[in-house]
Structure 1
Amino acid sequence: MENLLLRVALTPCLVLAVSVAARRLGPHRGGLLIGAPTSTGPFLLLMCSTYGPRTAARAAHGCVTGTLVVACFGFAYAHFARALRPAWTLPSALAGAATAGLAGTLLGNTLATAGLTAAVILAGLATCPPGDRGHRPPSRSRAWEIPLRMAMATTMVLTAAAAARTLGSFVGGMLSALPILLAIMGTALHRTAGAPVATDLMRGALSATTGTLCFLLVLGATLVPLGPALAFPLGLAALTAAQSLVRLPLARPATT
């Protein structure tokens, strides 16, 4: 019950934070916030406190598959957005993400899934069309759009949480990492601000997903032998290190 209440409270707050960040700081930073483990981290912490480290480690492996889905969604949306309208871009990206989720589930190996995820992230960062990083276009959104996004995201998370209770910790972890917020925010920005802005959101999410992947891998490997008191700080350290490494090659093009 506590897990469900936290996720219900966290989801609309995160949608609000991302909406404000994308509007005031630019879509790239909004994407960074979406790609960070802001939902999977609390989910795994509560899984650990409720069911123990072993179950939480299994859920972390499911989150790795969910991260593959996020990476493929961001990759596909960024490439389709320039050629398609939002109504066609979203289902096309969702189809690619669903295929990736099926592939990750069938692989059945966390390291293989992580390797595939890393390849998708690197390919996305290398080939995605350039966005409008740092540019904050005039908002054409209506006052009711942000509350509607918050309600839609909460409904989707409630549905995923209900399914996770019956399908196990691996599937629960995968569902907790699905790109619900990225789909909602990406489509909204695509419609109101244009394809370059939506692309920049996806690039930000792909960049942050690198750190999230490292965070999840460290948790999956250390929760059982070391316990959560050491595993979570190690995971955060891995996340910080990975994000620093990703920013090094990305900083050069941004300044030219």
Structure 2
Amino acid sequence: MTLFYLKLLVTPLLMWAISLASRRWGGLLGGLLSGLPITSALVMTFLCLEQGTAFALGAVPGALGGLAAVQATYTFYLFATRKLGIAAAVSLAILFYGLAAYAFTHWGGLYLSVGVALLLIGVLIRASGREPRPDTLARPRHRYWEIPLRMVSATALLMLTTSLASWLGPATSGMLAPIPVIAWPLVVFAHVQGGRAGMAAMVRGNAIGAVGVIAFYLAMAGLLEHTGVAITMLVAMATAVGLTVALAALLKGRA
């Protein structure tokens, strides 16, 4: 029961904090924060505590396949919105995610998923860099229901994924862990409010953060059996954050 209330408390608070940071400091930072393995770390932690470490380790290949599918979906959305409206692009992107996640999880492997994810991250960083820059002086209109809706959606997905884990099995549970439940609403809302420039900044930040997500899962796979859940998650998160910050600083310097 304690874990149940912890899920209800931590997830919406994280979504609220990231949403406020995005409003205050812009889409790139919002994308970076939402791209970090926050939802993934929560899902994997609860899988460890509720299903055991062996189950969580079995979910890692599926999680990396899901991450590759996430990057494929953002790539699809970035290019599709050049021709399609937002509603049509979102609908097709969600369908595309389901197909891509199934393909990577069932027919790919860990190394293929990592390789494809890194390739797509490079494509996203390059393509988003060619989009118009956001107008830092513009003040997009924010609606009162946006952040509560994001908080509810993030919490609902976490609860659903962890509650059905024993029935779904480790592969499918892992595939669902990196679903961009925090990042995806931010990307769509940024597109609606700030146009392509705001959306591209959010996607760019998320792609940079995805490098840290890969590091998180690889560190988790290497440490979990030997160091326990708490230390593994702390080290994996620290690795992800450090790598993300370093990459963001490197790309900013080159820009």
TM-score, normalised to structure 2's length? 0.86
TM-score, normalised to structure 1's length? 0.86
| Residues 16, 95 of structure 1: alpha-carbon distance in 2 compared, 3 angstrom cutoff | same
Judge conservation of contact 1:57–1:220 (CA < 8 Å) in 2.
yes
| Residues 148, 46 of structure 1: alpha-carbon distance in 2 compared, 3 angstrom cutoff | closer
Partner of 1:195: 196
Q: CA deviation digits over 1:68-126, x for unaligned, max 9? A: 12212222222233443221221232233223212211235212211111111112112
| Residues 232, 177 of structure 1: alpha-carbon distance in 2 compared, 3 angstrom cutoff | same
Partner of 2:142: 141
Distance 1:239 1:81 in 2: 30
Matching residue's letter, 2:71: A
Partner of 2:55: 55
What secondary structure is seen at the aligned counterpart in 1 of 2:143?
Answer: coil
Matching residue's letter, 2:144: A
Judge conservation of contact 1:214–1:238 (CA < 8 Å) in 2.
yes
Structure 1 vs Structure 2: percent identity of aligned residues? 26
Matching residue's letter, 2:161: A
The number of residue pairs the alignment matches comes to 254
| Residues 240, 127 of structure 1: alpha-carbon distance in 2 compared, 3 angstrom cutoff | same
Question: Is residue 202 of structure 2 the alignment partner of residue 176 of structure 1?
Answer: no
Deviation at 1:249, TM superposition (A): 4.3
Matching residue's letter, 1:77: Y
Stretches of structure 2 that go unaligned for 5 or more consecutive residues are: none
Bigger CA drift: 76-85 or 101-110? 76-85
Partner of 1:167: 168
Structure 1 residues 3-14: aligned runs within 5 Å: 3-14=3-14
Distance 1:38 1:181 in 2: 9
| Residues 70, 157 of structure 1: alpha-carbon distance in 2 compared, 3 angstrom cutoff | same
Q: CA deviation digits over 1:157-192, x for unaligned, max 9? A: 444344434111222222121122222222122112
Distance 1:40 1:184 in 2: 16
Partner of 2:32: 32
Matching residue's letter, 1:52: G
Stretches of structure 1 that go unaligned for 5 or more consecutive residues are: none
Structure 1 residues 1-256: aligned runs within 5 Å: 1-128=1-128, 129-132=130-133, 135=136, 137-228=138-229, 231-254=232-255
Judge conservation of contact 2:66–2:105 (CA < 8 Å) in 1.
no
